[in-house]
Structure 1
Amino acid sequence: MRLLKLVVVLILAALIALVGYAYFGDMDPARKEIRQPIPITDASPPAGPAAEAAGDDADAGTETSE
């Protein structure tokens, strides 16, 4: 009988703790804006297969039909 009372008290304590966590645990952190410049050293597109494929797509739309 004492063990049953102990289990019931522990379950009630767990439920109270869960409600308290749900109520107080959702605290948002303080947010602030951070701006960092991005250094750009070279504006040319990278060389390689990806650049060639991108170049082919760009040229396909500029062709004129005669």
Structure 2
Amino acid sequence: MLRLLRFLTILVFLGGIGLVGYAYLGDLSPEQEDVSEPVMLDAR
């Protein structure tokens, strides 16, 4: 049982390191584009 707990702890630790590394090194910036849409106003 202790071996399983140790394995899960190591797996969670490595997963956390991987997540932090991806957050810092991965390209997480959104793609930007101009959006223009006509608006019809019902002014009399």
- What's the TM-score, normalizing by structure 1? 0.41
C-alpha displacement of 1:22: 2.1
Which structure 1 residue ranges, 4+ long, deviate > 6 Å from structure 2? Answer: none
User: What is aligned with 2:34?
Assistant: 33
User: What is aligned with 2:13?
Assistant: 12
In 2, the alpha carbon distance for the partners of 1:28 and 1:12 equals 26
- What's the TM-score, normalizing by structure 2? 0.54
Structure 1 regions of 5+ residues with no counterpart? 44-66
Instruction: Count residues with an aligned counterpart.
Output: 42
Structure 2 regions of 5+ residues with no counterpart? none
Larger relative contact order, structure 1 or 2 (CA cutoff 8 Å, min sep 6): 1
Structure with higher Rg: it is 1
Helix, strand or coil at the partner of 1:5:
helix
In 2, the alpha carbon distance for the partners of 1:42 and 1:8 equals 65
The one-letter amino acid of 1:16's match is: I
> Taking structure 1 as reference, are residues 4 and 39 closer, same or farther at Cα in structure 2, changes over 3 Å only?
closer
